[in-house]
Structure 1
Amino acid sequence: MSRGPLSVPDGTHPYDSTYAHVADAHVADAHVADAQTLSLELLLQNLPGAAYRCRNDDQWVLEFVSAGIERLTGYPASAFMAQHGIPFADLILPEDRAGVRRRIAQALARGKSFQMTYRIRCADGSLKWVFEQGAALPQAKGRILEGFLFDYTPLHDATLLVREQASYLQQARDAIIAIEMDSRISYWNNGAERLYGWSAAEVRGKKFSDLLCGDPPAYQAAWESTLANGEWSGELSHLRRDGVCVETDTRWTLLAADRETGMPRKILVIGTDISERKHNEAKIYRLAFFDALTDLPNRASLLDHLRRALLGSARSRKCGALMFCDLDNFKYLNDSQGHAAGDMLLQAVARRLEHCVREADMVARLGGDEFVILIQPVEDTREGAAAQAETVAAKVVAAMAAPFQLAEVMYTVSVSVGVTTLCGTVDTVESTLRQADAAMYQAKACGRNTYRFHDPAVQAAWTARAELEGAMRRALRHGEFVLHYQPQLDRSSRVIGAEALLRWRLPDGRLLYPAEFIGAAEESGLIIEIGRWVLRTACAELAHWQRHPDMAGLTLSVNVSANQFTEADFVPMLQGIFEETGVQPASLKLELTESLVVSDFTQTARTMALLKQRGISFSLDDFGTGYSSLAYLRKLPLDQLKIDQSFMRDVLTDQNDASIVRSIIALGDSLGLQVIAEGVETPGQRQFLSDAGCFIYQGFLYQHALSAEHFTQYARSAH
């Protein structure tokens, strides 16, 4: 064979070398493709599922599926790829197929990929949940689908479990709330929404303490206990959305942080609405311990409180009182007007009795028309307790005197009150009740509409005090009180003024001194009216002196009760007396006690300043016997210190009294205050005072207190 021009010596075709190079290139490309194929197959084998390509028809016939299909379905990939292979649609549960077709169709219509879950029947007959994500090949115009399948069963079961558990929490009747460590709410179930009124969306992120906390100290205690002990349980009051307070039985549990899930520490709050239970408990309590008609504590409650009061009295050594109150002739009202009217009266009586006692005391109904008042043991002595009980008993008798409006009927009723004092060291519940009951019958025996004490000694003291009070009222009406005037003299034994002293001249001519009745006047409140009479009478006498030139320069000192001085109308009342009598106030000196200054310093100083502007001067009476301090002396507009006669009595024999008197004189001098000594009875006492620097005296050395007429004669003779 002839060689062509391109032939080569070895007989090969001139293009053979080129062919060889091309063949080598093809071999190399084949190796690369094989390597890529192997890599892709390895990737597909290791996927946690199966990649596929299938026809978009009713059977979803697979054109390709990776080996992972066997782990998913139990069928090898070849079972789907054979000429008469298994259509994938046959694996899908019939009840799920329509949904799968619908989702694919909807996705293709929008030109989107699709995602869905459904169930398949595996080779071994078991069911699995499958998650599928896929899309249509663009160039195949929707006829070919490609995608990925994986076993969704574990995730589905876990999600189902979570939802199931969440459903349990949501369906729980209790309020279940999770709060962060800054008190912000992160979980809120339906029970919480029903109980408190807010939805979960409304409360999430808000502070539990701000939203619900009706009792901040209780909330704080629960919070601190939970952090310290890991849990807390108890009752809390919470506020609903509508502002209503709801009582809850609550348990708080501290949840530890979880590193795996990244969940921080939280507090789980579980609350049960116990409002109805608390309401029922309160209802049962009221039925057991309160009278249904009057809403007062009943016999059981009274016995319990009385027992507690006696126990407390035994510990504190304080005394109280018990009072039996029985309506007089109550049966007549029931018989004449009917039980409805009787019930109305009992209710009205209950309300009036409640207004007669202090908040700490107790009014109870024993039954029928019998009421009991328990005065709590706060007094140091039985006498003090009796005085307090007497005040209450008088209020009760007076309160019942006003007519009661019972529907269309006005009805007047009186009450008999029996009083006994109590002290836990000697009295018992039984003895106290028995004594109060006996005293009540004494009151009825004395004509009703009154009160009596069980203790004969206390009853005698009360009777005497009541008689004294009545006599003082009579004395005011009949002009039995008189003023006497004790002269006050200077170092030259010249009269410079006087102190007005109250006396009570009885109808039989006897003269009573203040020590015998002023205490009762203070306790009864009559001191206000008596003090007003004293000031009016003293100012009238002082005005009389001022109209005579030889007596116009005298001053008049008048003692003023603490109760009177602190009265709101004291200043205008005194101004009215000035205008009525025409007295010049500059000659009037009011004597105040140390106890008044200490008890209400601010009010006392304000009143003194107002009167000082009107020219009145002030003397601090009985100085040194009370609680005086330099601070008071500096801040009050005082003019005079009065040395008490208790120091003067032994000033010559008792070194302590002598030192006190010298100190008072020196103090007065340093503060620019005049010093007067009362109770000067001997020349030696006067000389002591003169040597110490005190030059104004008052006492028996010079003169007793004199009537107005005799004082005028004495003052003129001593000039």
Structure 2
Amino acid sequence: MSKGPKSVPEGLQLPTAGDPHALSLERLLQNLPGAAYRCLNDGSWTVHFVSAGIEQLTGHPAGAFMARPGLSLASLIVPEDRPAVECRIAMALHKGQSFQMTYRIRCADGALKWIYEQGTATAHGGGHLLEGFLFDYTRVHDADLLAREQASYLQQAHDAIVAMEMNSRITYWNNGAECLYGWSAAEARGRKFSELVCDKLQAYHVAWESTLANGEWSGELSHLRRDGVCIETDTRWTLLAADQGCAGQKILVISTDISERKHHEAKIYHLAFFDPLTDLPNRASLLDHLRRALLGSARTRKCGALMFCDLDNFKYLNDSQGHAAGDMLLQAVARRLEHCVREADLVARLGGDEFVILIQPVEDTREGAAANAETVAAKVVAGMAAPFQLAEMMYSVSVSVGVTTLSGTVDTVESTLRQADAAMYQAKACGRNTYRFHDPAVQAAWSARAELESGLRRALRDNEFVLHYQPQLDRSSRVIGAEALLRWRLPSGKLLYPSEFIQATEESGLIIDIGRWVLQTACAELARWQRWPDTAGLTLSVNVSASQFTEPDFVPMLQQIFEETGVQPSGLKLELTESLVVSDFTHTAHTMSTLKQRGISFSLDDFGTGYSSLAYLRKLPLDQLKIDHSFMRDVLTDQNDASIVRSIIALGDSLGLQVIAEGVETPGQRQFLSDAGCFIYQGFLYQHALSAEHFTQYARMVH
């Protein structure tokens, strides 16, 4: 029988002579203070590879293990330790984890050594291969044993000293622990340390994992006394090696009561960084938070804001009612200000009647930060409107707010405070009880947006909105329907398109009321078409915003419009965006199905620009896909756009959906669509959007 090594198992790669990588690996293994191995998990741990360091570790050369038959790793382990080792490996295999353990071996010269082993298992055939590393643990073990012996002399130490097994069960509990926690040693032994005294298990687990990984951990932990009182401790955990003849390990915990020190520290901190009257952060705390916010802003390139809030005519209250009434007002104002901000933001009191709000830098642009700050500033001004109850007196006060945006790349603590203060005085100069932005550009943008929102409310009230209708034609150039398009006719006669105001309607929430008006007007016009034979078969497409479609009363609102206008719902087609479909698919699908039962049809607007997947298209009751005009613009010159358009048409055909293209402006584009299988068109090649009267005339002319 051959004495050479067995054939290499499938998937097992061993170093080969002459291989430069093998030579490099061999040199690496020779310099390691131990031995690397690979063996079968066959009960004897038959070796397939072991590095040369095994000889220094055990006294046996590597060849003795590699020969067949040869030495096995299991044969070196002292019999008393072997069951625990087998158990540890079996547990690791069961959990799919790596394993670490210590045990004793008998060397070639008869000497005993403690070995530390770390390894892992990989599946091989019907069993497992074990791979790992062994090193001499004797000196460490003896040192730990000595430390444990010396620890026995600390029974009377003032600190709490506790030893626990790896399952958290307590094995040692000194007199200091009895005094600190209130349980006697007899009561504590055998109970789990984590259950007996740990207040926050998450912190306990962090300490546990760190101790296992690094051998020790130190820090502060909250512990519970027997009487339920929580105490703060300065704690050190140390991982102890196994006792002689035992494969287990223990953790030594030494805890010092620092509750009194922590209480004094908290009191000193509060006195240093909080206002004693309002309990808000004071000037020192604000400066620290502002400095940190600017540093974070410089690192993340995010923008935030700072707001100076000054009470109007506060001196009058102090002079007329006394400082006690003034203090009560300041305390009440502080609480209201806290309700005006997000949890991450900061409200501080500088002194007197001056308060500051720090909006954390989370926005990508100053404009975004200004929008957030504007929302908060408006809440602050509105929040002061309700009178304050001051003892037996009701008192009203207003506030002037100065706002500045901040960016850590250009702003400093000093410049930010100065700009916010200047903006506050600008608010005072504008009549008080308002807010102003320091940045002239931001102030101008805010004013323009406020003016736009005010105009939109006026337009809705004064019926300045109108609907125009862009014809939709088939392959025979017959009008088969139209899309309703919103326009805003200003009192001056100028006509504004949605791109100029639709974002403001969404940000202000007016999109809901405007959308209701659009549906009401469109359905009334469609009802008029349905009363005439030559236009009765036309369909009308209406865009519906995501926020409107997800409103709880959207279906009842539509039903009410149908009843008021007398329109037949079968002529109405709602155009939905891809983003709506993806963001709330379940609700969208349910609403669509409900409306589908009433005869309404659906078109997926701007298809190809969003996120729709085939799965969504299959599950939604759609009737039509609409090719976005952005693809049509260059469809004759851009191969990518041409391919996308062909794909959309093919997809619609495969799903049984009608396909319509918008933005058709040239005969060449129409011919391309026709060749690709799209036969419904909308665009300037045929007609711009028309008023209701002109559309009816046009539809009858080309019907």
How far 1:254 sits from its partner (Å)? 5.1
How far 1:640 sits from its partner (Å)? 0.8
- The equivalent residue for 1:188 is 173
Distance 1:288 1:554, change over 3 A: same
Name structure 2 gaps, 5 residues minimum: 1-149
- The equivalent residue for 2:518 is 534
- The equivalent residue for 1:684 is 668
Q: Aligned equivalents of 2:404 and 2:529: distance in 1?
A: 53
- The one-letter code matched in structure 2 to 1:559 is N
- The equivalent residue for 2:625 is 641
- The one-letter code matched in structure 1 to 2:232 is E
- The equivalent residue for 1:39 is none
- The equivalent residue for 1:661 is 645
- The one-letter code matched in structure 1 to 2:558 is L
- The one-letter code matched in structure 1 to 2:622 is L
Q: How does 1:72-221 map to 2 (within 5 A)?
A: 173-221=158-206
Q: Aligned equivalents of 1:570 and 1:357: distance in 2?
A: 32
Distance 1:330 1:595, change over 3 A: same
- The one-letter code matched in structure 2 to 1:196 is Y
1:382 aligns with 2:366: yes
Distance 1:449 1:636, change over 3 A: same
- Which string of whole-angstrom CA distances, capped at 9 and with x for unpartnered residues, describes residues 437-491 of structure 1? 1111111111111111111111111111110111111111111111111121212
- The one-letter code matched in structure 2 to 1:513 is Y
How far 1:513 sits from its partner (Å)? 0.9
- The one-letter code matched in structure 2 to 1:548 is W
How far 1:221 sits from its partner (Å)? 4.0
- The equivalent residue for 1:334 is 318
Q: Aligned equivalents of 2:658 and 2:634: distance in 1?
A: 22
- Which string of whole-angstrom CA distances, capped at 9 and with x for unpartnered residues, describes residues 369-414 of structure 1? 1111111112121122112222222222222222222233222222
Q: Aligned equivalents of 2:646 and 2:212: distance in 1?
A: 68
How far 1:189 sits from its partner (Å)? 4.3
1:520 aligns with 2:504: yes
- The equivalent residue for 1:467 is 451
Distance 1:286 1:594, change over 3 A: same
- Which string of whole-angstrom CA distances, capped at 9 and with x for unpartnered residues, describes residues 650-707 of structure 1? 2233333222222211111111111111122222322222222111111222222222
Q: Aligned equivalents of 2:250 and 2:602: distance in 1?
A: 71
From 654, 669, 694, the counterpart of 1:710: 694
From 397, 410, 417, the counterpart of 1:433: 417
How far 1:185 sits from its partner (Å)? 2.0
Distance 1:540 1:338, change over 3 A: farther
1:291 aligns with 2:275: yes
- Which string of whole-angstrom CA distances, capped at 9 and with x for unpartnered residues, describes residues 48-103 of structure 1? xxxxxxxxxxxxxxxxxxxxxxxxxxxxxxxxxxxxxxxxxxxxxxxxxxxxxxxx
Distance 1:420 1:201, change over 3 A: same
Q: Aligned equivalents of 2:595 and 2:613: distance in 1?
A: 22
1:487 aligns with 2:471: yes
- Which string of whole-angstrom CA distances, capped at 9 and with x for unpartnered residues, describes residues 579-602 of structure 1? 333333222211112222233333
| SS of residue paired to 2:348 | strand
| SS of residue paired to 2:575 | strand
Q: Aligned equivalents of 2:557 and 2:269: distance in 1?
A: 53
- The one-letter code matched in structure 1 to 2:180 is L
1:565 aligns with 2:549: yes
- The equivalent residue for 1:411 is 395
- The equivalent residue for 1:442 is 426
- Which string of whole-angstrom CA distances, capped at 9 and with x for unpartnered residues, describes residues 21-56 of structure 1? xxxxxxxxxxxxxxxxxxxxxxxxxxxxxxxxxxxx
| SS of residue paired to 1:195 | helix
Q: Aligned equivalents of 1:170 and 1:440: distance in 2?
A: 66
Q: Aligned equivalents of 2:502 and 2:161: distance in 1?
A: 70
| SS of residue paired to 1:469 | helix
Name structure 1 gaps, 5 residues minimum: 1-164
Q: Aligned equivalents of 2:599 and 2:324: distance in 1?
A: 65
Distance 1:295 1:546, change over 3 A: farther
Aligned positions, number: 554
Q: How does 1:10-25 map to 2 (within 5 A)?
A: none
Q: Please report the RMSD computed on the Cα atoms of aligned residues, expressed in angstroms.
A: 2.7
Q: Aligned equivalents of 2:375 and 2:518: distance in 1?
A: 26
**Structure 1, 190-199 or 681-690: larger mean CA deviation:** 190-199
How far 1:253 sits from its partner (Å)? 4.4
How far 1:432 sits from its partner (Å)? 0.8
Q: How does 1:230-629 map to 2 (within 5 A)?
A: 231-253=216-238, 266-629=250-613
Q: How does 1:54-73 map to 2 (within 5 A)?
A: none
- Which string of whole-angstrom CA distances, capped at 9 and with x for unpartnered residues, describes residues 603-654 of structure 1? 3333323332332221111112223332322222221111111222222333
Distance 1:486 1:175, change over 3 A: same
Q: Aligned equivalents of 1:249 and 1:240: distance in 2?
A: 15
- The equivalent residue for 2:659 is 675
Q: Aligned equivalents of 1:197 and 1:271: distance in 2?
A: 14
How far 1:174 sits from its partner (Å)? 3.5
Structure number with larger C-alpha Rg: 1
How far 1:434 sits from its partner (Å)? 0.6
**Structure 1, 233-242 or 446-455: larger mean CA deviation:** 233-242
| SS of residue paired to 2:555 | helix
Distance 1:231 1:550, change over 3 A: closer
Percentage of matched positions with identical amino acids: 89
Q: Aligned equivalents of 2:680 and 2:660: distance in 1?
A: 5
| SS of residue paired to 2:488 | strand
Q: Aligned equivalents of 1:578 and 1:196: distance in 2?
A: 74
Distance 1:691 1:267, change over 3 A: closer
**Structure 1, 236-245 or 386-395: larger mean CA deviation:** 236-245
Q: Aligned equivalents of 1:638 and 1:443: distance in 2?
A: 53
| SS of residue paired to 2:609 | coil
Q: Aligned equivalents of 1:226 and 1:513: distance in 2?
A: 66
Q: Aligned equivalents of 1:204 and 1:645: distance in 2?
A: 77
- The one-letter code matched in structure 2 to 1:233 is S
Q: Aligned equivalents of 1:673 and 1:297: distance in 2?
A: 62
Distance 1:397 1:258, change over 3 A: closer
Q: Aligned equivalents of 2:671 and 2:434: distance in 1?
A: 58
| SS of residue paired to 1:401 | coil
Q: Aligned equivalents of 1:597 and 1:280: distance in 2?
A: 57
Distance 1:196 1:604, change over 3 A: farther
- The equivalent residue for 1:38 is none
Q: Aligned equivalents of 1:264 and 1:318: distance in 2?
A: 52
Distance 1:274 1:444, change over 3 A: same
Distance 1:472 1:176, change over 3 A: same
Q: Aligned equivalents of 1:272 and 1:227: distance in 2?
A: 22
- Which string of whole-angstrom CA distances, capped at 9 and with x for unpartnered residues, describes residues 181-240 of structure 1? 442223434543443343444332111122222333432443455556665432112233
Q: Aligned equivalents of 2:217 and 2:638: distance in 1?
A: 70
Q: Aligned equivalents of 1:545 and 1:251: distance in 2?
A: 84
How far 1:166 sits from its partner (Å)? 12
Q: Aligned equivalents of 2:572 and 2:469: distance in 1?
A: 14
Q: Aligned equivalents of 1:688 and 1:269: distance in 2?
A: 80
| SS of residue paired to 1:522 | helix
How far 1:255 sits from its partner (Å)? 5.7
Q: Aligned equivalents of 1:688 and 1:227: distance in 2?
A: 69
Distance 1:606 1:241, change over 3 A: farther
Q: Aligned equivalents of 2:184 and 2:568: distance in 1?
A: 79
